[in-house]
Amino acid sequence: MSRTYANNQAETKANPIAGACVVARNITKVFSSPGGVITACKDVNLSAAPGEFVVIVGPSGCGKSTLLRMMAGLDSPTSGTLQVDSPNGKRPTNSMVFHGRTLFPWLSLRSNVAYGMQMHGKSRRARLDRADELLDLVGLGDFRNAWPHQVSEGMRQRTSLARALAIDPQLLLMDEPFGALDEQTRYILQEELLRIWDNTGKTVIFVTHSIEEALLLGDRIVVMTARPGTIADDIVVPFPRPRSLTTIRSHAEFGPLFDRIWSRLRDEVERGGAFR
């Protein structure tokens, strides 16, 4: 299939947005459930500057999804402060992208993408036009009328990304969005995400279990400890952009950074108890 992409340059000029600014100070989240009290994360200090791409890695259960949900305003911290500011002084907008089945199966790809814009007061025509532009942007223009079950998992995930972009969020919160994809599709979507991010200036907070993915995407990589999750390391990724797996793998810093992150994570995964 040949891909057609919208003119991103034109989109950037039409939407001169900058991303949101995120500052989390001493965030602790405690859950009470019938099984007892669980401290998901503790004293987390984490920030993202406008337009920054921050990747979070950490052992399973250390509170990564919980942090993203709080940043999205879907949950609130037990203690600490979480500030999300928009560069234009208005209420900041955010979108979340998860892995797995998140599309409405009874709507076409186009209607799935258009759906989120209903709340934003756009006319039906404007919503569908914008959905078409975004489906072009993620290479799915030819499939706009397909139903989710008629396309591949990678195409569904691209549709989820288009849907997240539809409200033009200043903060994109991505929770292992490519985790369930085959390796080659993942490579392609990583490149597409970098291209879209580069052209739109959104702030991205991205959770992954893949160190290589973190090194490819992030301006910074935040490494968390086992639960209760706290920040173990905060690393500035020095690779120049634009990046590809080929260029970063041959960079002198790739091996040392990979080892630094893996040795930290390995300690934490083992400390978390799953492998004893």
Ligand X SMILES: Nc1ncnc2c1ncn2[C@@H]1O[C@H](COP(=O)(O)OP(=O)(O)OP(=O)(O)O)[C@@H](O)[C@H]1O
Minimum CB–partner distance for residue 36 and ligand X (Å)? 10
The number of residues that bind ligand X (CB under 6 A) is 13
- Minimum distance from residue 225 beta carbon to Mg ion (Å): 15
Residues 48-77 that bind ligand X (CB under 6 A): 58, 60-66
Query: Cα separation of 91 and 83, whole Å?
Result: 12
Task: Kindly tell me which residue out of 130, 202, 227, 243 binds ligand X, with binding defined by CB under 6 A.
Answer: 227
Task: Indicate the burial class of 36 (C-beta count within 10 angstroms; 0-12, 13-18, 19 or more).
Answer: exposed
CB of 69 to Mg ion, least distance (A): 9
Please report whether residue 40 would count as binding ligand X according to CB under 6 A: yes
In one-letter notation, the amino acid at residue 38 is I
Q: Examine residue 31 and tell whether it contacts ligand X (CB under 6 A).
A: yes
Q: Report the interface residues with Mg ion, using CB under 5 A.
A: 65
Rounded to 5°, the CA angle 100-105-110 comes to 100
User: In the complex, what is the shortest distance from the CB of residue 228 to ligand X, in angstroms, rounded to a whole number?
Assistant: 8
Which residues have C-beta within 8 Å of that of residue 266, sequence separation ≥ 6?
none
DSSP 130-194: HHHHHHHHTT-GGGTT--GGGS-HHHHHHHHHHHHHTT--SEEEEESTTTTS-HHHHHHHHHHHH
Structure tokens at 210: 């893949």
56 versus 194: smaller Cβ distance to ligand X? 56
Question: Between 63 and 139, whose beta carbon lies closer to ligand X?
Answer: 63
Chain residue whose CB lies nearest Mg ion: 65
98 vs 143 by CB, closer to ligand X: 98
User: Residue 200 has what DSSP assignment?
Assistant: H
| Site residues for ligand X per CB under 6 A | 31, 33, 38, 40, 58, 60-66, 227
